[in-house]
Chain A
């Protein structure tokens, strides 16, 4: 039985802050933006959080395929910035988008890959026949401590995917994960901002896991980079996905459509799911997409996806990723600090 994506939806807040504005405040050089290959990042509005972003993305996903929300049997919400430590995000989303109570729900957390973990869980539920449709969400209003390197990229955004077995816009051919206990980035209970291992987040964390999962999946499927029209990798900055695609043998052309981090920053659990959405926004029927997420702690989920004829029918029924980029309102650091709740009174 083929399983995959019926529909997808994204949401990115309209506020932006330029990296040079953050660098101005902290006295860092302008070259920081060039080094990270990120120009600006999205910032949530005063009343936006992971829940509101997840709801917006979920509504866009449902609107795009006109599916009856009553068919949704599972909602899994992945985030590292759930507004409650105890009290699910997924139930709030469910109440907002479903008109039934007949669904299971849970929140996922796995740093930046909670969204793809939720997607895999939905695939399992659909594949086993336990549910008809599953809603997998990755959404974050990620945190970076003032002055920390993370502050330059920690952004806000969400993506939602309706997973099922009929009327697929894209079939998920296979998925493969690579997971180890690698403490490259963490936030302990009660702490407002995450900590990280500096350069340790690169080679032994991001690159090892992304290449581990990607190579594992291609080996199992007997595919090579040339078999794919597009590739999407987790985008903590603009540099890492470029480098990892080179390491794996993918070209710049393959990753270009999904590489949105320079204009919105790292949306954490939504990062590679928004990248996939941007790719689905332009992909033609029959084309193949290779996706690999990364979550600190650490693990990667790789997916091999084939776009179907239905993509052309549903594509324009909801806002594209590009619809959320451009025309944003720029904040200075003071307003940004207020939006992010960095000022405590």
Chain B
């Protein structure tokens, strides 16, 4: 297996991109990444794209061929593959690209992610997203994603004494981080009171506990590390790529307050990279709801089980503290175009490790982690990157 590095990254502005289409965004992100890597189209051996539901959101499937075509690569007949793992589609596309390079089958590979979610009503979007849960055993009985995460939150509150203010602190911090991120959907500060007073979605989760519906695309360029050293002045090494699965339905889980897929992918990734959680300098974790970030920092081993809420409230995960989490603003404030999120996380970590994150730069960041979850935890991916 060959070592793999990222030699270029690109990401569109996230948000309500009424003026552009799915193909416009994927072309924009792709061009940014290729320009950043200073490569030409002829050098690309393969493309992977994460996209959850082009069929439901813009009535477009066959996204693999579409992105090759949009990238102007159709005449080169480059293999292009769309992968899907709900909200972890981007992270999975990244892993497929890494495996292709590591195996030796391909040298230069683009891993991208895209989702155009605002062309449909919020009801249609919510239903498309619900397809990531167990349709027969959860959705047919009325469960929505906020409802599933609300159940996790309620048990976490009961068992560990986590408060809603502690959950709200996740949103407040991520909005603060997003103020320094030019691609973020919500570059505005909010307060604990704003979260608590916002409309209730599924008790205890208010609207400001939830990540938004967003449009966006991101892309990274991968190469074998040996080649990357020649192609790039600041390659970012992929130190680990791990993936795990779990039951699709929440009620079949061993424990409702733990995402075992995250635990397993995290452990595997730390073993691959040969590091401990405490050695991570900056992390992007899957905060589709505020409770999800609390679960993530526990399940990844950054804090003890049950301590995630308190740690957030005490500021442990803010920029300037020992473990800055979601410097991009996370899914909550940077936005969550589901297929693009996993790639955007890698984009953010690459910027941090290259020292190019501007006002949200984490000092001397050398080790970064990206954590991407599909559904309520049926899939989890953890990637670790180093300078």
Distance in angstroms between the alpha carbons of A199 and B18 in the assembled complex: 10
Our count of residue pairs bridging A and B at CB distance below 8 angstroms stands at 13
Q: Which residues of B contact A203 (CB under 8 A)?
A: 16, 18
Chain A: minimal CB distance from B341 (Å)? 20
Q: Which residues of A contact B16 (CB under 8 A)?
A: 199, 203
Distance in angstroms between the alpha carbons of A200 and B118 in the assembled complex: 8
Q: Is A204 located at the chain interface by the 8 A CB criterion?
A: yes
Q: Decide: B121 and A198 in contact? CB cutoff 8 A.
A: yes
Number of interface residues of B (CB under 8 A): 7
Chain B: minimal CB distance from A48 (Å)? 32
Q: Which residues of B contact A200 (CB under 8 A)?
A: 18, 118
Q: Which residues of A contact B19 (CB under 8 A)?
A: 204
Q: Is A328 located at the chain interface by the 8 A CB criterion?
A: no
Distance in angstroms between the alpha carbons of A31 and B200 in the assembled complex: 12
From B16, B18, B19, B199, name the one whose CB has the most chain A CB atoms within 10 angstroms.
Answer: B18
Distance in angstroms between the alpha carbons of A197 and B199 in the assembled complex: 21
Q: Which residues of B contact A27 (CB under 8 A)?
A: none
Task: Give the contacts of A2-48 with B (CB-CB under 8 A).
Answer: 29, 31
Binary CB contact string for chain A from 184 to 222 against chain B (1 if under 8 A, 0 otherwise) = 000000000000011110011000000000000000000
Task: Give the contacts of B156-210 with A (CB-CB under 8 A).
Answer: 199
Distance in angstroms between the alpha carbons of A197 and B121 in the assembled complex: 6
Q: Which residues of A contact B199 (CB under 8 A)?
A: 29, 31
Chain B: minimal CB distance from A52 (Å)? 35
Distance in angstroms between the alpha carbons of A29 and B121 in the assembled complex: 21
Q: Which residues of B contact A197 (CB under 8 A)?
A: 121
Chain A: minimal CB distance from B223 (Å)? 39
* Chain B residue at minimum C-beta to C-beta distance from A35: B199
User: Interface on chain B toward A: helix, strand, loop, or mixed SS?
Assistant: loop
User: Pick the contact of A204 from B18, B121, B122 — CB < 8 Å?
Assistant: B18
Q: Which residues of A contact B118 (CB under 8 A)?
A: 199-200
Distance in angstroms between the alpha carbons of A13 and B256 in the assembled complex: 57
Distance in angstroms between the alpha carbons of A29 and B118 in the assembled complex: 25
Binary CB contact string for chain A from 31 to 73 against chain B (1 if under 8 A, 0 otherwise) = 1000000000000000000000000000000000000000000
Distance in angstroms between the alpha carbons of A198 and B18 in the assembled complex: 12
* Chain B residue at minimum C-beta to C-beta distance from A184: B18
Distance in angstroms between the alpha carbons of A203 and B16 in the assembled complex: 9
Chain A: minimal CB distance from B50 (Å)? 25
* Chain A residue at minimum C-beta to C-beta distance from B19: A204
Q: Which residues of B contact A199 (CB under 8 A)?
A: 16, 118
Task: Give the contacts of A74-100 with B (CB-CB under 8 A).
Answer: none
Binary CB contact string for chain B from 8 to 46 against chain A (1 if under 8 A, 0 otherwise) = 000000001011000000000000000000000000000
Chain A: minimal CB distance from B337 (Å)? 16
* Chain A residue at minimum C-beta to C-beta distance from B197: A31
Task: Give the contacts of A286-311 with B (CB-CB under 8 A).
Answer: none
Chain B: minimal CB distance from A207 (Å)? 11
Distance in angstroms between the alpha carbons of A31 and B121 in the assembled complex: 22
Chain B: minimal CB distance from A213 (Å)? 19
Chain B: minimal CB distance from A30 (Å)? 12
Q: Which residues of B contact A198 (CB under 8 A)?
A: 121-122
Distance in angstroms between the alpha carbons of A203 and B199 in the assembled complex: 22
Distance in angstroms between the alpha carbons of A301 and B122 in the assembled complex: 30
Chain B: minimal CB distance from A194 (Å)? 14
Chain A: minimal CB distance from B132 (Å)? 22
Q: Which residues of A contact B122 (CB under 8 A)?
A: 198
Q: Which residues of A contact B121 (CB under 8 A)?
A: 197-198
Distance in angstroms between the alpha carbons of A198 and B119 in the assembled complex: 10
Distance in angstroms between the alpha carbons of A200 and B125 in the assembled complex: 14
* Chain B residue at minimum C-beta to C-beta distance from A196: B121
Chain A: minimal CB distance from B370 (Å)? 30
Chain A: minimal CB distance from B193 (Å)? 14
Chain B: minimal CB distance from A35 (Å)? 10
Binary CB contact string for chain B from 133 to 167 against chain A (1 if under 8 A, 0 otherwise) = 00000000000000000000000000000000000
* Chain B residue at minimum C-beta to C-beta distance from A28: B199
Chain B: minimal CB distance from A43 (Å)? 27
Task: Give the contacts of A146-201 with B (CB-CB under 8 A).
Answer: 197-200
Chain A: minimal CB distance from B186 (Å)? 14
Q: Which residues of B contact A31 (CB under 8 A)?
A: 199
Chain B: minimal CB distance from A259 (Å)? 26
Chain A: minimal CB distance from B102 (Å)? 43
Chain A: minimal CB distance from B207 (Å)? 12
Chain B: minimal CB distance from A23 (Å)? 13
Distance in angstroms between the alpha carbons of A203 and B18 in the assembled complex: 9
Chain A: minimal CB distance from B124 (Å)? 10
* Chain A residue at minimum C-beta to C-beta distance from B213: A199
Distance in angstroms between the alpha carbons of A203 and B185 in the assembled complex: 14
Chain A: minimal CB distance from B197 (Å)? 9
Task: Give the contacts of B43-66 with A (CB-CB under 8 A).
Answer: none
Task: Give the contacts of A261-288 with B (CB-CB under 8 A).
Answer: none
Chain A: minimal CB distance from B192 (Å)? 19
Distance in angstroms between the alpha carbons of A299 and B121 in the assembled complex: 22
Chain B: minimal CB distance from A204 (Å)? 4
Distance in angstroms between the alpha carbons of A270 and B16 in the assembled complex: 31
* Chain A residue at minimum C-beta to C-beta distance from B121: A198
Distance in angstroms between the alpha carbons of A29 and B199 in the assembled complex: 9
Q: Which residues of A contact B18 (CB under 8 A)?
A: 200, 203-204
Give 6 nearest A-B pairs by CB, closest first.
Answer: A204-B18, A198-B121, A198-B122, A200-B18, A203-B18, A199-B16
New A-B pairs, 6, CB < 8 Å, besides A197-B121, A200-B18: A199-B118, A200-B118, A203-B16, A203-B18, A204-B18, A204-B19
Footprint of A on B, CB under 8 Å? 16, 18-19, 118, 121-122, 199
A-B contact pairs, 13 of them (CB 8 A): A29-B199, A31-B199, A197-B121, A198-B121, A198-B122, A199-B16, A199-B118, A200-B18, A200-B118, A203-B16, A203-B18, A204-B18, A204-B19
